[in-house]
Amino acid sequence: MLNRFQAIGRCDSLRSELGNNHAQDQTRTIMRNVSSRQRRDPAIARNNLLASTMSIQTKRVYDGAAKTDGARFLVERFWPRGVTKETLRMEAWLRDVAPSDALRKWFAHDPKKWREFQHRYAKELDGHARAWQPLLEAARNGNVTLLYSAHDIQHNNAIALKSYLEAKLKKR
């Protein structure tokens, strides 16, 4: 089964082999077949729709804002040091999405505790659906950037929250 990119590549090679007129007819046929497969298979259509409309990314608050960030949300319990509220471009500060103080202190950004942290944090998030629901809605409408202040860019609550939200988006 061809995806759109493979079909476009095949169409380009046909143009070079067969000449433009005949290749245009073949191109229409190939693209029509790809499109009809996507219409017939709801899983393919759903995955393509999700991939094209949602993007959740993470970014340190100290990195500058970009046009591709979309809606930006601070997902920390405490305000980041050295950043003023006037300079940080964001939609909202979602304190309640951040891990509890007890979990945050237990984790202490120790990579050895990362898997267990993700598991415990997911349990906390399951109990606070109202806190992360705005993030899910924003992700359904476009790009979302989760802002965090941790030094460790691989083991922090924003990364765990991103995984959690992406799993929720795929279930629906």
- Percentage of the chain beyond pLDDT 70 is 68
Could you write out the DSSP letters of every residue in 41-87? -HHHHHHHHHHHH-EEEEEETTSPP-GGG-EEEE--SSPPTT--TTT
| Per-residue pLDDT in tens (0 to 9) along the chain, 172 residues | 444 444 444 444 444 444 555 445 544 444 444 444 444 555 444 444 444 445 899 999 999 999 999 999 999 999 999 999 889 999 999 999 999 999 999 999 999 999 999 999 999 999 999 999 999 999 999 999 999 999 999 999 999 999 999 999 988 6
Gyration radius from the chain CA atoms = 22
Q: pTM above 0.85?
A: no
Instruction: Say whether 26 sits in a helix, a strand or coil.
Output: helix
Domain limits, the chain: 4-48, 54-171
Neighbours of 8 (CB within 10 A): 15
Q: Tell me how far CA of residue 68 lies from CA of 87, 128, 144, in angstroms.
A: 18, 28, 9
User: Are the C-beta atoms of residues 158 and 58 closer than 8 Å to each other?
Assistant: yes
**Are residues 98 and 36 in contact, defined by beta-carbon separation less than 8 angstroms?**
no
